[in-house]
């Protein structure tokens, strides 16, 4: 084992607190240099070092323990070297709690003009210049940012993918993982490996064996939420998660519909992230315990109730559906701010409620009750 992995154990730890007796759902605590993270946890996405339409103090008021930022976007602007000079991403964005940074692999996957080669991924920036993002440069950028959890640089396999493509891709991802480990020098930052394999169980098993043999602080299931649909997603997660080490955090990347969160939690996943609650908020979609509502709908013009009657977020304690509909009708930015505040509070509270249900061995009951009431609204 490398010295950095041994030293990292002083700064990063996962404690499995309780496993639900009726399912694989579990509650734990992740300890990092910037604080503890109770699990299961949903991480709001702050791609550019900010949760769109929210001030950091709102996140603190709702006791949100961790956010996610993106390597690719922060390197493009303002640049990781500048952020390092500013004291790291925590100081730069005035956030003193844990941060996880994605490696940039998914952003590369989503680009049209890219070239995947052994050295890394080459693509064009918005200004026309070409750049090569490699395992080494991804880790260098993330270490400049100073995130608590770094993600290994991998190739995100598209859906559908042939067996031949998948076989070649995962081998490259494993070679890239070793290069990421070799580039990792700061023990106060933790490196998570990513398990790919598309929809093939034998490849997922191969990836679990390969990636987890590196004895990293945590592991993620990648290559879901790439167009495969909810049935395939559940097949992948339900097969892969139980194979992963029980004493390390399990993370499913990019999953964010409430019904999907219950699915991954039931199969023993600890962490997830997605842009859904914030992106949908800016379009006027509100998440409630009774389902999603479109606040611009005509029904809410004379509705003087809060978005969620029993919600204690700032939005619900102070404003009505009628007023928020008016803000969206008037194209006022406050509308997006208020709905984002509520959606983030809803998601974080949902994870807290799930954790409490796990601790009380009633997770499946809580899941059934929630999904029964979670109906599609106007």
53 within a domain of the structure (yes/no): yes
State the average pLDDT over residues 67-88.
Answer: 96
Does 102 qualify as catalytic in the annotation? yes
In which band, very low, low, confident or very high, does the pLDDT at 111 lie, cut at 50, 70 and 90?
confident
244 and 299 assigned to the same domain: no
In which band, very low, low, confident or very high, does the pLDDT at 223 lie, cut at 50, 70 and 90?
very high
CATH code for position 152: 3.20.20.105
- Examine the fold and report which residue of 242, 274, 306 is the final residue of a domain before the chain moves on: 274
pLDDT given for residue 377 in this prediction? 58
CA dihedral 43, 38, 183, 129 (to 10 degrees): 10
80 and 214 assigned to the same domain: yes
pLDDT given for residue 2 in this prediction? 64
- Examine the fold and report which residue of 274, 294, 319 is the final residue of a domain before the chain moves on: 274
In which band, very low, low, confident or very high, does the pLDDT at 236 lie, cut at 50, 70 and 90?
very high
194 and 298 assigned to the same domain: no
pLDDT given for residue 248 in this prediction? 98
53 and 178 assigned to the same domain: yes
* φ/ψ (deg, to 5) at 377: -105, 175
Give CA–CA dist 339/358, Å, rounded.
29
Given phi > 0 = left and psi -120 to 50 = alpha, else beta, which region is 109? Answer: alpha
Structure tokens given for 188: 């106060």
124 and 28 assigned to the same domain: yes
Query: Is 104:70 a contact under the CB 8 Å cutoff?
Result: yes
Residue 241's contacts (CB-CB under 8 Å, 6 or more residues apart) are 24, 221, 250, 252, 264, 267, 268, 269
142 and 288 assigned to the same domain: no
pLDDT given for residue 19 in this prediction? 98
223 and 323 assigned to the same domain: no
pLDDT given for residue 110 in this prediction? 77
Query: Is 261:225 a contact under the CB 8 Å cutoff?
Result: no
Q: Given 102, 148, 154, 260, which residue is catalytic?
A: 102
348 and 255 assigned to the same domain: no
15 and 97 assigned to the same domain: yes
Does 273 qualify as catalytic in the annotation? yes
Query: Is 301:336 a contact under the CB 8 Å cutoff?
Result: no
pLDDT given for residue 376 in this prediction? 60
279 within a domain of the structure (yes/no): no
How many separate domains does the chain show? 2
pLDDT given for residue 108 in this prediction? 75
In which band, very low, low, confident or very high, does the pLDDT at 173 lie, cut at 50, 70 and 90?
very high
289 within a domain of the structure (yes/no): yes
Helix (H, G, I), strand (E, B) or coil at 149: strand
46 within a domain of the structure (yes/no): yes
Give CA–CA dist 152/141, Å, rounded.
12
Helix (H), strand (E) at residue 372:
helix 363-373
Question: Over the chain, what is the mean pLDDT?
Answer: 96
Q: Which domain holds residue 226?
A: 3-274
Q: Given 20, 148, 260, 273, which residue is catalytic?
A: 273
Could you report the per-residue pLDDT of 282-299, keeping only the tens digit for each? 999 999 999 999 999 999
209 and 338 assigned to the same domain: no
């Amino acid at each position: 084992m490398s010295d950095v992995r041994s030293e990292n154990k002083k700064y990063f730890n996962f404690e499995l607190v309780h496993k639900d007796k009726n399912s694989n759902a579990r509650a734990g605590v992740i300890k990092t240099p910037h604080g503890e993270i109770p699990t299961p946890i949903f991480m709001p996405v702050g791609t550019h070092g900010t949760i769109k339409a929210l001030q950091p103090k709102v996140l603190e008021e709702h006791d949100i323990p961790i956010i996610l930022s993106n390597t690719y976007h922060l390197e493009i602007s303002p640049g990781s070297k500048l952020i390092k000079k500013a004291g790291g991403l925590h100081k730069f964005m005035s956030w003193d709690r844990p941060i996880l940074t994605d490696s940039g692999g998914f952003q590369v996957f989503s680009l049209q003009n890219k070239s995947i080669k052994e050295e890394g991924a080459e693509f064009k920036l918005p200004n026309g210049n070409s750049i090569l993002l490699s395992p080494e440069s991804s880790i260098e950028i993330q270490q400049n940012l100073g995130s608590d959890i770094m993600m290994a640089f991998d190739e995100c396999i598209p859906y559908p993918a042939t067996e031949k493509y998948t076989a070649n891709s995962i081998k490259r991802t494993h070679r890239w993982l070793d290069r990421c480990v070799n580039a990792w020098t700061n023990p106060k930052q933790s490196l998570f490996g990513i398990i790919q394999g598309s929809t093939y169980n034998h490849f997922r098993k191969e990836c679990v064996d390969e990636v987890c043999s590196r004895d990293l602080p945590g592991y993620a299931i990648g290559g879901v939420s790439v167009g495969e649909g909810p049935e395939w997603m559940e097949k992948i997660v339900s097969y892969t998660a139980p194979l992963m080490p029980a004493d390390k955090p399990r993370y499913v990347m990019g999953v964010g519909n409430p019904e999907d969160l219950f699915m991954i939690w039931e199969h023993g996943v600890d962490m997830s992230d997605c842009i859904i609650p914030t992106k949908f908020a800016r379009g006027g979609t509100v998440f409630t315990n009774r389902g999603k509502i479109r606040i611009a709908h005509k029904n809410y013009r004379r509705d003087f109730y809060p978005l969620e009657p029993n919600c204690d977020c700032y939005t619900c304690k102070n404003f009505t559906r009628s007023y928020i509909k008016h803000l969206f009708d008037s194209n006022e930015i406050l509308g997006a701010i208020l709905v984002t505040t509520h959606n983030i509070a809803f998601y974080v509270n949902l994870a807290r409620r799930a954790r409490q249900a796990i601790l009380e061995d009633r997770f499946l009951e809580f899941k059934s009750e929630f999904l029964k009431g979670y109906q599609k609204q106007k």
